[in-house]
Amino acid sequence: MTTARARRAVHDRSSLLEVAVGEFITRGYDATSMEDLSRAAGITKSSFYHHFAGKEALLRAALERSLAGLFALLEEPGATDGTPLARLRHIVRGQIAVLQRDLPYVTLLLRVRGNTESERWALEQRRTFDAQIATLVREAVEAGEIRVGVEPALAARLLSGLVNSVVEWYRPGRPGAAQLPDDVARAAFEGILPAAG
């Protein structure tokens, strides 16, 4: 209680959302109460309810934010113009940039297992996003830009696995953060451990 009171109270919607996402990640969504959230934000429960209808509304807002970032990426010129391979490269770099910018939101999105309506909605949105990537991979194979090694669907899954695994260890301010989008793209297209020569 002392720590929570000593911390500065937050009152705007976006800061409250950030506090909630932090608590959801640390405690788990199911184990977090509005009581916990109010305490973490240093405000009363009724002030919290003034901004958000409840826990599920907070989860929904957080998932919407991270999905909005990912889908906005698919609308960028680099993701819509050019060869399938160039578009894929743009998207992989962009996914890492979104993850770096919205780390807690993306972390929450990737932990979702489908226990609530908002979680099922987010899983559905993730499937839609992944399907667009899989389509682009198939197009790159058909255009002869990518060597046909594994099934395009498997390649798309591995690509998404590689990109999303970054949330497990990335922390803001890490050395090399600025090069990370390029580093991950190179790993995806040339190999994590490419043979020399």
The residue ranges that bind its own copies (CB under 8 A) are: 28, 30-31, 85, 88, 137, 140, 144-147, 149-151, 154-155, 157-162, 164-166, 168-169, 176, 183-184, 186-197
Tell me how far, at minimum, the Cβ of 146 lies from its own copies, in Å.
Answer: 5
Task: List, as one string, the DSSP characters of 94-139.
Answer: HHHHHHHHTHHHHHHHHH--S-SHHHHHHHHHHHHHHHHHHHHHHH
Taking the least distance from each CB to its own copies, the nearer of 172 and 176 is 176
Cβ closest to its own copies, residue 72 vs residue 154: 154
Shortest Cβ 30–its own copies spacing (Å):
7
User: Virtual CA dihedral for 12, 17, 19, 21, nearest 10 degrees?
Assistant: -170
Query: Of 124 and 145, which CB lies nearer to its own copies in the complex structure?
Result: 145
The one-letter amino acid at 158? L
**Please, what is the minimum distance in Å from the beta carbon of residue 92 to its own copies?**
9
Question: Where do the DSSP E strands lie in 31-99?
Answer: none
Q: Smallest gap, in angstroms, from Cβ of residue 102 to its own copies?
A: 18
Nearest residue to 21 via CA among 76, 60, 59, 71: 59
